[in-house]
Amino acid sequence: MKLKQALLLMVSLPLWLLQGCSSLDQVSRVMEGRKPTAQVAGVSLDGLDFKGVDLVFDLQVDNPNPYAIDLTGFDYDLQLFDQSFIKGRQTKGVSLAANSDSRVALPLRLDFKQLLDSYRQLRSADEASYRLDLGLGFKMPVIGALRLPVDIEGSFPLPRVPAFSVRSLGVKRLSLDEAELELQLEVDNPNRFSLLLQQLDYHFKLNGVAIAEGLIRQPLNIEQDGVGVVAIPLSVNLRQAGMGLYSALLNGSGLDYELNGSLDAATSNTLLKRLQIPLAKQGSINLQ
């Protein structure tokens, strides 16, 4: 009797195992069919200046399952000119609700100096094309860890700093107490988009003496590869500035100037709405 039971057990055990494996395979196949999917919902510039660009990749992730799943993190590899420029991994997890779409944002900061040091061809370029290889990591029931690849291609602008030059410094009125001057600042826009200068915050010195500062709101549109001129009125209190500066103004030649500040500008580039342009210029000038 014991021998018959043992033989029966030996015969039926493989059948149970096969049935169990078949069930697991079916469950696994079902889970394979209910994998999450992802697509790019958009790419935006969260910030852009002459030092770098902040790109935000907005992903739409769909969880088709009737239960929540965990996005455990993602790895990324940003490529320029078919070369890996920046890569990394983010392990901050996100819970994705059942039967719903979720938005996941991936922010990346790109340093222009590092870009130009790595890719000399960008020095004369107006924009840079990129490819981003993403791998979204999920923790799934039964099938375990899952990596979902997502590829993104696009481009971003490479803004160039406008060139400044002092065109002239003219005397409008000069008395013992006060001098009214006008400084004409030339702005050369080297970009492939127009600049709308909206305001200028400035500090101006003559012969080392701080004579004027202020905020000018004087809208000026400068076309791409164009030049514009900003007129800066200067009112100098000669009693405070001293006789040395008064004598220099009377002489009218060989004046040392120093102009510092910043320009706020809007642009015609749809990805680049605003720019703050640093201003630092010094040299010698003659009065006109």
> Is residue 6 predicted with pLDDT exceeding 80?
no
Q: In the prediction, which pLDDT does 33 show?
A: 47
The reply to whether 277 falls in a domain is yes
Q: In the prediction, which pLDDT does 11 show?
A: 44
Same-domain pairing of 102 and 144: yes
Q: How confident is the model at residue 283 (pLDDT cuts 50, 70, 90)?
A: very high
Tell which of 107, 136, 157 closes a domain. 157
> Is residue 3 predicted with pLDDT exceeding 70?
no
Quick: pLDDT tens for 36-61.
998 888 887 777 777 888 888 888 99
Same-domain pairing of 43 and 132: yes
Same-domain pairing of 207 and 132: no
Read off the CATH number of the domain in which 251 is found: 2.60.40.1820
Same-domain pairing of 125 and 179: no
pTM exceeds 0.85, yes or no = no
User: What distance in Å separates the CA atoms of residue 110 and residue 132, rounded to the nearest whole number?
Assistant: 13
Q: How confident is the model at residue 285 (pLDDT cuts 50, 70, 90)?
A: confident
Q: Output 17 or 131, whichever has higher pLDDT.
A: 131
Reference 80, options 159, 124, 39, 133; nearest CA is 133
54, with CB counted inside 10 A (0-12, 13-18, 19+), is: middle
> Is residue 119 predicted with pLDDT exceeding 70?
yes
The reply to whether 4 falls in a domain is no
Average pLDDT of the chain to the nearest whole number: 81
State how many domains the chain has. Answer: 2
Tell which of 157, 176, 198 closes a domain. 157
Q: How confident is the model at residue 183 (pLDDT cuts 50, 70, 90)?
A: very high
Q: Output 258 or 54, whichever has higher pLDDT.
A: 258
Q: In the prediction, which pLDDT does 24 show?
A: 43
Residue 248's domain comprises 163-285
Same-domain pairing of 49 and 145: yes
Same-domain pairing of 44 and 111: yes
Read off the CATH number of the domain in which 74 is found: 2.60.40.10
Q: Output 189 or 253, whichever has higher pLDDT.
A: 189
Same-domain pairing of 119 and 152: yes
Tell which of 118, 138, 157 closes a domain. 157
Per mean pLDDT, which range of 11-20, 95-104, 218-227, 261-270 is the poorest? 11-20
